[in-house]
Amino acid sequence: MEKRLIKKEALAGIAKKMAGDFLVWAPVKKEDNVLFEPLKKDTEPFFAYLNSKNAPKNVFFPHTETMMKYTRTEKGMTFSQDQSKVGEAVLFGVRPCDAHSFALLDMLFDQEKYKDDYYVAKRQKTTVISLACAQPPYATCFCTSVDGEPVSADGADILLTDLGSDYLVEFITPKGEKLIKYFGETKADTAAETKKNEIIAKAREAIKSKIPAHEVKPILDNNFEHPFWATIHGKCLACGTCTYLCPTCHCFDISDEVKGSDGVRIRSWDSCMFPLFTKETSGHNPRPSQKERWRQRTMHKFKYYVDNFKAISCVGCGRCVMYCPVNIDIRKIIEDISKL
Amino acid sequence: MQNPYIPYPVKVDKIITEVDTKDIKTFRFTFVNKEDEEKYKYIPGQFGELSIYGKGESPIGIASSPTQKGYVEFTVQKAGVVTAALHEMEEGALMGLRGPLGNSWPLEYLEGKNIVIVGGGFAFTTLRSLINYMIHEDNRKRFGKITIIYGARTPGLLLYKDELAQWAKRSDLNLNVTVDKGDANWKGKEGFVPNVCKEVAPSAENSVAVICGPPVMIRFTLPVFFDLGFSKENIITSLEMRMKCGIGKCGRCNVGSKYVCKDGPVFSLAELDKLTKEY
């Protein structure tokens, strides 16, 4: 594996240079938030950030996207596949937890049978550069409980680790190596290696928030009807913030929009927190209250995904914990389940 | 590979109003591109997404049998936005069809066994597909005795009346059609499906029951089959849930770890017992 060293202040310049050659998504300051946005000539990437407010999953799985277009004819509608080409792109500087989420989303969208062309096309054309958490940003971070690491290349093609005055640049995949020319000629020495290992240990140590994520699986297997499920949702507003900010939530709706004789079929993020998500035409709803919806969200991440893909569908980013308007804390829920 | 979200263009070739309330119609579709017909290879029990541009999609069980070449049929009740728009369509109209989706009736498992088909009301569509498949001359000898028990509220609500008349003439199947309440012209059975099942009393020996109907019918029919000695492995049904993608990605039709669209809709009672009761 090829390794290079670059000066810390050189990073923004590298991102901007790449942006001259293809689409680069990078963290950008927007009012009080940091968001991943396509880098334009006059925007400055902001790499000294903690984590982005939104998970960067929208790069591969946009909030709303066109699936097909159609036109009204005398006999009815005729359709055409959306022909917009997916170009080469770089997702520059995502946190390891969010990169981990891509590996999890791949399991669902990139299956042998029923490949999701929209997701897969963007994912294949995009090189992911992770920016390791040399200092874990939040007290709510719990990646080490859900098979993650603050310094990890999981889901990434290139890994950047802050060594103090330099970044260690590790080219993880052949896709990552294709971008090597942007990162200068300075090869990383063994001292850099040693430094990185120290940082790994320190960063792991700094993650204080821990949840028994693996331990709850056998409990969830046997407690679908447990009275505990009636105790979570009392204050839930069903706003869906947790699912919208979640890097691994993938549920979507498909809807049609028509203007004049032309229309589009689009897909948009949906949420298991919403009553209409499962409501049938007859009026029957298999998940009639917020209780069943919370059970679904918890089960999906810590049991169903494990049953289907042998992986927990939570990366420990803590966004749902930080931004829930009524302070529902998934860490507390998992902790409580472990004691059932 | 075909993008699974993009429908095949189809033409509404024929529309048959099935019931006297006129809210259930059978739509026969032909493929605009002949090669798509070959791609749309389905097995009884599977479903398709009927796709009306500008309205959306509706997942509906396939009512025709793969032995019926050249077209696909769906029997649809007018209920929501998409099905209402479908009911407004005329013969010759163009629309879309996705699929075939889901698993199917377990044909290999059914082979060599006696088959008892129990249907109630409008939920007879994929059972009709299975019946027509089994009684086709190429397939009939691979199945044992075929017993059919089919009920509707009134004679006017029975689906596929012409076919029922044809089946009644056959000596290689035992057809029992019943209505809750007959009218002046009705000469057949009167009575609820569970009671007719009791009367007909099919033997459980080397037999599988395939049951589809409204929840209340299923609730009272199952005990009859348990009493007859049918095991849970040999009682098979089909679930319905709200669906969008039909390929296990959009996340709304799961029952426990299983997606009804992809892992179902067909499950045996033994399989359903292992799932959570959230449907």
Are residues A330 and A245 in contact, defined by beta-carbon separation less than 8 angstroms? no
Range of B169's domain? Answer: 107-238
- Quick check: A270 and B276 CB within 8 A? no
Backbone angles phi, psi at B177, to 5 degrees: -105, 135
pLDDT of residue A41: 86
Residue A3 Cα distances to A175, A184, A339, B53, angstroms: 14, 11, 45, 52
**CA dihedral over A276, A278, A283, A288, signed as positive or negative:** negative
Residues B116 and B228 in one domain: yes
To the nearest whole Å, the CA of A34 is away from the closest chain B CA by 28
Residue A87 Cα distances to A22, A117, A125, A187, B128, angstroms: 8, 14, 6, 30, 48
Residues 6+ apart with CB under 8 A from B84: B78
Residues B158 and B220 in one domain: yes
Residues B132 and B229 in one domain: yes
pLDDT score of A75 more than 90? no
Q: Which of B101, B134, B153 is at the close of a domain?
A: B101
In a domain, B118, yes or no: yes
Question: DSSP of A232-247, one letter per residue?
Answer: TGGG-----HHHHH-S
In a domain, B254, yes or no: no
DSSP type of residue B139: T
To the nearest whole Å, the CA of A175 is away from the closest chain B CA by 24
Q: Confirm or reject contact between A68 and chain B (CB < 8 A).
A: yes
d(CA B279, CA B270): 16
Kindly state the tokens that stand for A312.
């927990």
* Side chain identity, residue A301: K
In a domain, B260, yes or no: no
Q: Confirm or reject contact between A261 and chain B (CB < 8 A).
A: no
Q: Which of B101, B128, B149 is at the close of a domain?
A: B101
Residues B31 and B51 in one domain: yes
Per-residue confidence band for A74, with pLDDT thresholds at 50, 70 and 90 = confident
Query: Quick one: which H or E segment has residue B129?
Result: helix B125-134
In a domain, B156, yes or no: yes
pLDDT of residue A222: 94
Residue A172 Cα distances to A13, A149, B256, angstroms: 22, 16, 36
Going by C-alpha positions, the residue among B138, B135, B277, B124 that lies closest to residue B210 is B124
Residues B91 and B165 in one domain: no
In a domain, B246, yes or no: no
* Model confidence pLDDT, tens digit, residues A107-163: 999 998 899 999 999 999 999 999 999 999 899 999 999 999 999 999 999 999 999
Residues B112 and B233 in one domain: yes
Residues (pLDDT < 70) of chain B are 1
Q: Confirm or reject contact between A259 and chain B (CB < 8 A).
A: no
| Residues belonging to chain A | 340
d(CA A133, CA A148): 11
**Measured between beta carbons, which residues in chain B are less than 8 angstroms from residue A265?**
53
Q: What percent of chain A lies above the pLDDT cut of 70? A: 98
Q: Confirm or reject contact between A300 and chain B (CB < 8 A).
A: yes
pLDDT of residue A82: 65
Q: Count the domains in chain B.
A: 2
Backbone angles phi, psi at B172, to 5 degrees: -95, 15
Residues B159 and B227 in one domain: yes
In this complex, which of A75, A267, A304 lies closest to B256 when CB atoms are compared? A304
pLDDT of residue A259: 87
pLDDT of residue A86: 87
Q: Which of B60, B78, B101 is at the close of a domain?
A: B101
**Measured between beta carbons, which residues in chain B are less than 8 angstroms from residue A70?**
53-54
pLDDT of residue B49: 97
The CATH number that applies at residue B17 is 2.40.30.10
In a domain, B192, yes or no: yes
pLDDT of residue A29: 94
In a domain, B111, yes or no: yes
Residues B189 and B73 in one domain: no
d(CA B107, CA B139): 11
- Quick check: A114 and B57 CB within 8 A? no
The distance between the two most distant Cα atoms of chain B, rounded to a whole number of Å, is 56
Residues B204 and B81 in one domain: no
Q: Confirm or reject contact between A308 and chain B (CB < 8 A).
A: yes
Mutate to test the interface with A, among B78, B252, B262, B275 (most CBs of A within 10 A): B252
* Model confidence pLDDT, tens digit, residues A195-220: 999 999 999 999 999 999 999 999 99
Q: Confirm or reject contact between B252 and chain A (CB < 8 A).
A: yes
pLDDT of residue A23: 96
* A74-113 residues touching B, CB cutoff 8 A: 75-79, 81, 108-109
- Quick check: B252 and A78 CB within 8 A? no
Per-residue confidence band for A51, with pLDDT thresholds at 50, 70 and 90 = very high
Terminal-residue alpha carbon distance, chain B: 33
Report chain A's mean pLDDT, rounded to a whole number.
94
Going by C-alpha positions, the residue among B216, B210, B87 that lies closest to residue B147 is B210
To the nearest whole Å, the CA of B275 is away from the closest chain A CA by 10
pLDDT of residue A83: 64
Residues B88 and B158 in one domain: no
pLDDT of residue B277: 83
CB atoms within 10 A of CB B13: 17
The CATH number that applies at residue B166 is 3.40.50.80
Q: What is the mean pLDDT of residues A224-232?
A: 95
Going by C-alpha positions, the residue among B173, B68, B86 that lies closest to residue B129 is B68
